[in-house]
Copies of this chain bind each other. A is one copy, B any other.
Amino acid sequence: MQQGLAAWHHYMVCNDINLLPDLIADEAVFHSPVVHRPQTGKAKVFAYLSAANKVLGNETFHYVRELVDGPEALLEFVTEVDGIMINGVDLIRFDHDGRIVDFKVMVRPLKAINKLWQLMAQQLEHQA
């Protein structure tokens, strides 16, 4: 768990997408802030996390709170995109090998989720 969380922070600091695949378990699940239906499997989780990284991961992105309890972590972040403040949480569950098995994102306020929806759709279309 601590190892998985440290690897996640290392990935975020380096901002190196090549580090991402090794962090994700094969059977991982991603829960989007926008859509109800979970995205299952390493390939889909990678697609969503790398799209999120492109959309949110600019120089204003920073984590402001961290809760760790057992195999789970809550990382709260703040970032600004196109002049809109986005406040969100990454809710991550790790397996025994420190790989991500479940990744859920929620954001606030309403203006931020609307912005994110628009940008994520563009990004995922671009990837497809």
Bound CA span A78–B64, Å:
25
B residues near A36, Cβ cutoff 8 Å: 85, 87, 108-109, 111
For this complex, into which size category does the number of interface residues on chain A fall?
20 to 34
B residues near A113, Cβ cutoff 8 Å: 110, 113
Main DSSP-derived SS at the A contact region: strand
B31, B89, B107, B117: which contacts A91 (Cβ < 8 A)? B89
Using a CB–CB distance below 8 Å, which chain A residues touch chain B?
31-36, 65-70, 72-74, 76, 85, 87-89, 91, 104-111, 113-114, 117
Instruction: With both chains docked as a complex, state the minimum distance between the C-beta of A109 and any C-beta of chain B, in angstroms.
Output: 5
Which B residue's beta carbon lies closest to that of A33?
B108
